Amino acid sequence: MLKSFQHYIDGEFSDAATTFESVDPATGVAWATMPAASADDVDRAVKAADRALFAPEWAGLTASQRGKLLYRLADLVAANAQELAQLETTDTGKIIRETRSQIGYVAEYYRYYAGVADKIQGACLPVDKPDMDVFLRREPVGVVAGIVPWNSQLFLSAVKVGPALAAGCTIVLKASEEGPAPLLAFARLVHEAGFPAGVVNILTGFGADCGRALTSHPLVSKIAFTGGPETARQIVRNSAGNLAATSLELGGKSPVLVFDDANVDSVSNAVIAGIFAASGQSCVAGSRLLVQRGIRDRLLARLVEKAQAIRIGDPQEVDTEMGPLATRKQRDHIEAVLAASLQAGATLLTGGGRPAGRGEGFFFEPTIVDCPTSTVPSVAQELFGPVLSVMTFDTEAQAIALANDTKYGLASGVFTRDLTLAHRLTRRLRAGIVWVNTYRAVSPIVPFGGYGLSGLGREGGLDAVLEYTRTKSVWIRTSDEPIADPFVMR
C-alpha cells in the first residue's frame, strides 16, 4: 500500500477530497498519496491563520515566548533529521548524505530566528516639535503565504517560517506538489512544538486550485515565494487584488570565474560541488564556468576526470554521490536543451545522456559542454540539472562581460589569489551573492537574494525578519497646554 499524507490546517491533520500520487524519482514508481488542496481548503487555512494572528494564545505571547517555541521546533527538527532526510530523499531523489546534512543545518536556522525574536526593535525619533514624543513600533505584517519548490523544501521553508514566526506573523505554507512529503511530515513537529492552532498551516496542491487561491486571498498580507520567474509573474498578477507584499527568490544562471592564478585542485572541487551537488537542482548552482585561457586545459581535464568518476546510484545509499532528477519532465527538458545546444555549436566534453543500468529512474549523467558564445541555450537558460556550460576568456573585462551577460543575478563565484582583483570583481558582478575562493557556503546570519530575474527581497539574516514587519508611527503630545484653536490666527 502507498504511504498516505495529510494536510495540517488549524492545528489538525485532515484529508483532502482529492489526492494524487507522488513518484520516487529513483524508480519512477509511485510510493505515496498526497492531499490536493482545493480552494475551500486554502480558504479554511487562511482564515485559521487570520484568527490565530489576533488570538491571545499567539498575539498575547511575548517575543521571548515566541522564541522559545522556535527553539523547541529547532530541537525537534534536529531530533527527527534522519526521518525527514529519508522522506526528502525518497520524494525528490536528493542523495541521503545531502539531505541529512542540510536538514541538520535547518535546525540552526530555526535557532537563529528563535534568538532574533526578542531583538526586533523600534525607534524613538527626534522630531522637530518640542512637545511631541514620536516612536516607531514594528508589528507583524499579518498572514503570510509561503510557497516553496520541490528542491530543499525544509531549508527553503525555514527561511520563511522562521522569520515570520519570530516577527509574530502566522503562515500558510504550500509545499510543492512535486515531492511534498518532508514538509507535510514537518507539520507533526510544528504540532508537537506547541504552536497555537492556526499559527502554522501546511498543505500542498496544484497551481490552479491551491496556488491561485492562496496568493489571491484577501486575508493574505505577504507572499514569500521561491521558484521560477514565470510562476512569480503569475503570483504578482494574483496579488493585484489583495496588494500583498511579495518577496521572490527565483532562479539563477550563476557564473564561476576562474583566473590563471587559481589553485586547480581547489577550483575543481568547488566547481564539481557547485554544479553536480543535488544533481544540479539548486538555485545557486554554478552552471556557467568562465575560465581564463591559461588554466583552461588543465582545469577542464581535471573536471572531466572528476565528473566521470562520480558514483551515480540509489540516493538512499550513503556511497552514492549523485542521484536522479526529481521529475521525468525535468529530465526531458534538459535533454531537449542540451540537444539544441549541441546543434548551436557546443561541444560535449563528457556525459550528455542517461546512465546505463538505472531502470526507470530519472537519472542523467554529469555533463560538461564547451560553448562558443552566450547564445548557446545551455548558457542562456536555467536548466536546473547537472549540466556545466564552459566559456573561455582572456581578460578581466571579458570575464565581467560574460558573467553579467544574463537576465539572472543570484550567485557568482570568483577564484583567484589576487586580492585586489577579487575586490574589483565583487563590486562589478551583478549578483546577490559573490563567493571568493569558495562556493555554496551559507549561514543563517547572512541574507541571500538576487538581481534581475533572480527575484526581489532577501531571505536569511536579520534583514529577512524586518520584511515580515511593518512600522507603526506613534505620536504622543507631552504638553499640558490646550491645543491651539485652529481657527484663531496668531
DSSP state letters, 255-283: EEEE-TTS-HHHHHHHHHHHHHGGGG-ST
Are the C-beta atoms of 300 and 349 separated by less than 8 Å? yes
Q: Which residues contact 462 (CB under 8 A, 6 or more apart)?
A: 116, 119, 445, 447
Confirm if 117 and 63 have CB atoms less than 8 A apart: yes
CA atoms within 13 A on the CB side of 391: 27
140 three-class SS: strand
Q: Is the dihedral of CA 213, 216, 219, 221 positive or negative?
A: positive
Rounded to whole angstroms, the Cα distance separating 366 from 289 reads 14
Cell numbers placing 62: 511575548
Going by the DSSP 8-state scheme, the letter that residue 462 receives in this structure is: H
Is residue 467 flagged as an active site residue? no
CA dist 259 and 257 (Å) reads 7
> Choosing from 249, 365, 382, 467, which is the catalytic residue?
249
CB 183 within 8 A of CB 80: no
Residue 472 has, within 13 A of its CA and on its CB side, a CA count of: 8
Nearest one of 197, 47, 221 to 142, comparing CA atoms: 221
Q: By CB neighbour count within 10 A (0-12 exposed, 13-18 middle, 19+ buried), where does 359 fall?
A: exposed
Q: How far, in Å, CA of 425 to CA of 423, rounded?
A: 5
Point out which residues pair with 8 in neighbouring strands.
13, 202
- Rounded CA-CA distance 122/244 in Å is 23
Q: Compute the distance between CA of residue 45 and CA of residue 248 in angstroms, rounded to an integer.
A: 22
Residues acting as catalytic residues: 249
